[in-house]
Each structure stands twice: as structure tokens, then as C-alpha cells.
Structure 1
């Protein structure tokens, strides 16, 4: 009788443990896979610890976890494929609309029409930015191929895609006309636009967002400071995880509606090899975002043959032009609300002509672009082979030579300084 009672009690405990597995532990496991803070309970009867029962139940939990994760990944990949196809079509239509608006901007000279067209242009830019970011998040190509572009032009182009662009102040601390190589221009523009949109959105409408360009020892940096509400520590940690590009992110992890900006940047970081970080608090109490562009994604452009656009910030030590009207931005009478010119319009036929040319403005009207007449090519051009885009190795060599020259100059200045003090 005693043995029978013992067997009956064990059978009852096993039955209870199985019910605990089915109705408590498995639902908690599924919730835990979506929200890591949800704990998964342990055994209900500690007498089964270390036994075959515990091993069997743990194996069942692992099998369910693997099946749920595999199904979740399959569904997410299918959703990304659908979104990728939809954004490709919509993005192409937005580019067509952008081209038509651009044509109309050059056709009509009436200031009121020009203002309305520029507002439509800017609204289309915002819409295109969201479509483009969603497509990149779902594995699509950024969508544009550019030529090498000045870093200042890339940032100004990103600024034009953001609502509240007039609150963004861009300055340059660069010592040379640093540029981004062609393959990284659009990814960095998308990244900067997402960071600027985030900074503007989380700052009061009367506050500005400061952007500065800096030269680093092994590359260049874009520093974005806002004076907004800031971020909690757990938000900073989650953002850092997304921005690293080292972790797979599911669409369902981005909230409803999805906050895809940091996840999009993380995918671009992983694909193109630059880095993005955020710090809190920023010098003014908000958030500081830093985009570091390594030397192999940078090059130097001759500002005489391929000048920066009129709206881009000048490098810190660039010699001032002798002609007082060489750069329109220095004597522009445009209003503060004038829209930045678009940076991803089709490239003009001349390889060294800036996108924004002969911009003029009056106190009561927005700047209007004027297209120059095509210049005849030099007669010797046919005898010169077509210039090839530099390879990554050539770009790296150019940047390394520039860095070496900078270090040599600093060393010479340091020696000269000490010799002067010794005298």
C-alpha cells in the first residue's frame, strides 16, 4: 500500500508538472521571445530537478523556441519582401514627380509659382526620404548612384529632405575640401537625413539643431547636436544596438508605427563601413549624434574644377576668393525660410558643373535656379581618355597622402615653435 501511494503521488506530481509546462511555461516562453523582460518560470516541483523529467521539459521548451524563432524570421522576411517591392515602385514614382517639379521650376519665373513648386518639392523630398529609408531597411539598394561629392554638399542635401530644415545650422571646421567617394554618398546622405529628422522632431519648434563638420586623424566626422528632450538610458542602449549594425532586427521590434530610422542606419553602417554613435547628454542637454566616415570612404576634390554648391559651408581655412561675388551664399539676400536645393537631381551633362548654379533671390521670393547653357568641350578632349572613377585603393592612397602631409605640417610647425622658444 505504501509503494502504491508513493507511485500515485509521483504520478500526480508529474501530471501537475506537465500542466505547468503546457499552460504556464510555454506561453511565458513565447512572450519572452517577443519581450525579453518576461521571465520563463522554472519547475513547479523541485523534486524533478536534475531528473529525466526536467531534461525532457527543457528540450520541449528549446524545440518550441527554435520553431517560434524560425517562423518569426520567415514571416519577417516575407513582410520585408513585400515592403521592398512596394517601396521600389513608389520610390520610382517619387523620382518621376521630382523630375517633373524640377522641370517646372526652370520653366516658370513667377515668384509665387516658384514658391509653391519649391514647397511641393520639399514635401516630395520628405515623402521620398521615408520611402527610401523603409526600402533600405527591407534590404533594397539606396536607389541612387552619385559622383564624388563634397562632404558639405552631402550634409546640405540631407538637410533639404527634413521637415524643419530652416532650424538646422551647418558649419565646417574642415581644413580642406574633403569629399565622400561616389559609392558612399547616398548612404551617408540617408544616414544624416534620418539623424537630422530625429533631432528636429525631438526639439522644440523654436530651437535650432547644430551640425558641424570636423576632420579626424583617420577620417572625418559629422557632429549633430540638438537641445531636445534627450533619451533615457534604456533608449540609448537600444539605439546603440540598432546603430551598430551587428544585430538582426525584425520589423515587429520597431514598434507601431515602426520607428525605423536607427535600424535603417544600422543596415547602412554594416554595408558601407562607416560608424554612427549617440551620446547623452549632449553639451546642451539633448542628444549628440556623431557620424564617423573612415578615410577609405573619403577623397579630396579640387574646389576650382569641382566647386561646392553655393549653400554648402566653406572649409575653415579656405582662402577667401578675390572676387566678391564668387560664392553666391556670401552675398545672398534670400530669406531664412528659403528651401535648400535638392542634392539628388539628375547629374548635369558637364561633369564639373555644380547642381545649383547662378542662384538668385529677392527679399520677397525664394531662390530660383538658372540652368547654364552647355559649354563646348575643349578641342583636346577627344584625345584624352575618359577619366575613370578612382578605385578604393587609389582613394585610400590619396587620403593617406593628405593625412601624411597634414601630420608633416603639424610636426614642422611644432619644431619651429620649439626653436623659437629656445631662442
Structure 2
């Protein structure tokens, strides 16, 4: 047996070595699999980390921009397409949906709060207007007129701001008017801005008027554009307004002598005007309600507004194109005189067809100037009917007070057209302030005319 012991030992050693080698190979394979698994898990973890960073740095900001601008846009997808459909990416999509829902809820809450504030301001301003009217009725002294006019003018600006905020919140302007001549619509807009004295209206005679349902919308739109024009130009420069006949209606052109708009500002203004889904968050800080309100009213009533061209004076040109559907025959609208209101100390003159006149702070015009030669007296009944038909009216269609004067005696043959009236130097302060009193009463009557109910613009 002794000679076989080395062979047995050798075979046992060989078997042990084979077993150890097999175990080593198996362990090595398992280690390789574990290393591969760890590498795969580490890669998946890095991909998820990158995906989370991509969500934070790219996807959420893109969604915020889309929601703040109020228009459709592209939101980046997952950074790693192979993760699409996995629970991790589905959870990220849920975060985006929740973010979108929270933003929409915040926008609705902002609009509701803003509308409540706007309606409150409108109510307070209307109450103040009533107080102004009562004060004017109690104190009819001429020395109070200028102060009352200043308060009334400031109150009109407050109402304009409140209406702009309400329009942004998808509410109606809040007033309705009768069919109104376009010239009176422009003058009504001029009366709602701060620097109304800088506005020069080049009058163009036209036989059409603005349909009553669109009067307030156009007044608000023109007022906002005029306010922008006066604020973006030097206080020493005028702002010109003229009406141009077009193939599809008329265009109201507003030109200032300011610095104009660069490409970025022009693009931003165009977005404010034409973005239908623009929300409160997209109005900037501080919010720019004016152009956004103009765009909302233009889409709602069917006219067009553009501010993408330069004026002849180097500033900005704003154009409001009014289609024929919003125009009507001026003979069916309240007639307005051919002369704007002038101070009592200045003799009125006949205005030509395209005369530039300084605008007054209201949509009201005064009585027409007396002709150079008085016509032959008519029968009392015919004269009364003619006077009633020619009586001036407000933007709201209400009759205005016209200062009554005694019939002027026939002019002397040697009198010239530019000679002053014989009694001009003997006018009392009350007589001199009478046109202002009539103007104030007319503007107050127009402000209280036919307020519409919420949600019913045609009432």
C-alpha cells in the first residue's frame, strides 16, 4: 500500500486544486456580475440625478415661461429618452402637472382679486363723481369751477385705470353709449389722460359715427394709447391725432415725438397687444395694463391696434383701425358742433375741414360759433325746432347746456370780421365762467349715463 500513497496524495491535491480553481472562477464571475450590477445602478442613479437637475433647471423654468406669457410653448422632455415611461419620469410629469395647476389657480386668484379691487375703485370713483355733481349744484360760483374740473379730471383717470384692470380680468368696460361721432369719441379719450393739453386733434369731417356698443371700448383704447404717447415723449412736444379713411373703415392715428421703441420693446408691445391668453403674471413688474387692455378690447369688439411703426416726428405711431361693422351713419347719431370749446375770452372762429385744435379734457364740445352775418329771423316754431335739432349732446347722447345769449344786433357795415364784440370788455366773471360750467355739467352727465350690468355689454 505504501507505493500507492504518493499517487493518492497527488490525485487529492489535484482535485483540491481543481475545486479551488472552480470556486475562484465562480467567485470571479459573481464579482464581475456584482460589479456590473453596481455600475448599472450607479449609472441609473446618475441618470436620475441628471434628470432631476434637468427638471429643475430646464423643464420647470420652461413651463413657468409658458404659463407667465400665457401662450402655448415647447416644454423640454426627459433628458434620457430611455427613462420615458419609468416611474421616476412619471413622477416628474406629475410634478409638472401639479406646477401647472398651481399656476393656473394662482392666475385665477390674481384675476379675481384684481377684478374686486377694480370694481371697488370704480364704485368709489362713481361715488366721488356724485359728490362732485352735488357740490357743483350747491356751489354755482365761478371760482369753484376750475377746482371741480381738476377733481373731475383726476377722477376720470382713476376710472380709466380701474376699467383697464377690469378688462384684463375678462370683464366688460362697464358703460354703454348711443351712436357717437368719431370726433367726440377721440375727444372723450383725450379727456381721460393726464397731459390732455398736449394733444392736438386734426379734425377730418366724416359722415359716420361709432356704433354705441363699441364707443366705450374705443374711448378706453384711445385713452391708453394717448397716455403712452404723452408719457414716452417730452412734455414740450405735442401729440397729434388724425383720422384717415381706409378701404375697410377708418383709422385713428396717434403720433408722438418721443424716442420711439427699439426692436425688443416693439416685440414686447406687440405681445401685450396680440397675446390672447396673456395673464396677469405676464404683464411685467410693474404691470402694464394699458396695452394689454387695448388688445383685449380689440379682440372682443373687432377692431385692430398696432404700435409697430415709427411716426413722422421720430417717435411712435399707434394706429387703431375701426372696421365698417363698428361704424354707422352720423346723421342718426347725436350731432356735434363744428367748433371745439374755446375760452370765453377768445372769440370763436370757424374751423376748416382739417384744422388742428387743442383738445379739452372731455368728450364734450361746446356750442357752435355764431356766424359772421346773422340769418333772417324765422318763425318762432321753426326756430325752436331748429334749435332743438342742433342742440349739442354728450358722448352718452345727453343734451348739453348751452350758454344762452341775446340775439346780436346787425353788424355795422364798416365792422370787420376780426373786430371784437362791443360788450366783450364788460363781461362779468360769472359770464366768463359760464362755458366752463356748461362743460363740467355735460361731462358729469356723460359719466353717469347708462351704466351697464356685469356680463351684459349690450344692455
Report the TM-score when normalising by structure 1.
0.71
Among 252, 265, 276, which residue is 2:294 paired with? Answer: 265
In structure 1, runs of 5+ residues without a counterpart are 314-324, 345-349, 372-423
- Displacement after TM superposition at 1:300 (Å): 1.4
Is the Cα contact below 8 Å between 1:159 and 1:340 reproduced in 2? yes
C-alpha offsets along residues 37-73 of structure 1, whole Å, 9 cap, x if unaligned?
9x988877xxxx442x145466555443333222211
Distance 1:198 1:304, change over 3 A: closer
Give the length in aligned residue pairs. Answer: 343
Query: Which residue of structure 1 lines up, in the alignment, with residue 303 of structure 2?
Result: 274
C-alpha offsets along residues 270-305 of structure 1, whole Å, 9 cap, x if unaligned?
211111011233222211111011111001112896
Distance 1:328 1:70, change over 3 A: farther
Distance 1:84 1:308 in 2: 38
- Displacement after TM superposition at 1:140 (Å): 1.9
Distance 1:115 1:5, change over 3 A: same
Query: Which residue of structure 1 lines up, in the alignment, with residue 10 of structure 2?
Result: none
Among 352, 356, 361, which residue is 1:340 paired with? Answer: 361
C-alpha offsets along residues 149-185 of structure 1, whole Å, 9 cap, x if unaligned?
01110110000000011011111334x2321001000
Secondary structure class of the residue paired with 1:370: helix
Distance 2:224 2:204 in 1: 22
- Displacement after TM superposition at 1:264 (Å): 0.9
Query: Which residue of structure 1 lines up, in the alignment, with residue 278 of structure 2?
Result: 249
Query: Which residue of structure 1 lines up, in the alignment, with residue 163 of structure 2?
Result: 132
Distance 1:305 1:255 in 2: 41
Distance 2:135 2:349 in 1: 23
| 1:197 has 2:227 as partner | yes
Distance 1:235 1:341 in 2: 31
Distance 1:161 1:339 in 2: 10
- Displacement after TM superposition at 1:100 (Å): 3.2
Query: Which residue of structure 1 lines up, in the alignment, with residue 175 of structure 2?
Result: 144
- Displacement after TM superposition at 1:97 (Å): 1.8
Distance 1:227 1:50 in 2: 55
Query: Which residue of structure 1 lines up, in the alignment, with residue 317 of structure 2?
Result: 288
C-alpha offsets along residues 193-217 of structure 1, whole Å, 9 cap, x if unaligned?
0111111111111111111111111
Query: Which residue of structure 1 lines up, in the alignment, with residue 213 of structure 2?
Result: 183
Secondary structure class of the residue paired with 1:368: helix
| 1:369 has 2:448 as partner | no
Secondary structure class of the residue paired with 1:211: strand
Distance 1:213 1:104, change over 3 A: farther
Matches within 5 A, 1:55-204: 55-56=85-86, 59-105=90-136, 108-174=139-205, 176-204=206-234
Distance 1:150 1:106, change over 3 A: farther
Distance 1:261 1:304, change over 3 A: closer
Structure label with greater radius of gyration:
2
Is the Cα contact below 8 Å between 1:164 and 1:200 reproduced in 2? yes
Secondary structure class of the residue paired with 1:358: coil
Distance 1:305 1:264 in 2: 28
Q: Which has the higher contact order (CA 8 A, sep 6+)?
A: 2
Distance 2:104 2:358 in 1: 46
Distance 1:366 1:50 in 2: 79
Further displaced range: 279-288 or 98-107 = 98-107
Is the Cα contact below 8 Å between 2:180 and 2:333 reproduced in 1? no
- Displacement after TM superposition at 1:330 (Å): 5.0
Report the TM-score when normalising by structure 2.
0.66
Distance 2:59 2:298 in 1: 32
Secondary structure class of the residue paired with 2:245: strand
Is the Cα contact below 8 Å between 2:253 and 2:318 reproduced in 1? yes
Is the Cα contact below 8 Å between 1:17 and 1:43 reproduced in 2? no
Secondary structure class of the residue paired with 2:320: strand
- Displacement after TM superposition at 1:10 (Å): 1.8
Query: Which residue of structure 2 lines up, in the alignment, with residue 209 of structure 1?
Result: 239
Query: Which residue of structure 2 lines up, in the alignment, with residue 223 of structure 1?
Result: 253
Distance 1:7 1:359 in 2: 98
- Displacement after TM superposition at 1:129 (Å): 0.7
C-alpha offsets along residues 231-277 of structure 1, whole Å, 9 cap, x if unaligned?
22122122222212x52111111122211111111211121111101
Distance 1:289 1:105 in 2: 37
Is the Cα contact below 8 Å between 2:179 and 2:333 reproduced in 1? no
In structure 2, runs of 5+ residues without a counterpart are 1-30, 366-387, 395-399, 405-426, 440-459
Further displaced range: 23-32 or 273-282 = 23-32
Distance 2:280 2:155 in 1: 25
Secondary structure class of the residue paired with 2:314: coil
Secondary structure class of the residue paired with 2:269: helix
Distance 1:136 1:225 in 2: 25
Distance 1:273 1:21, change over 3 A: same
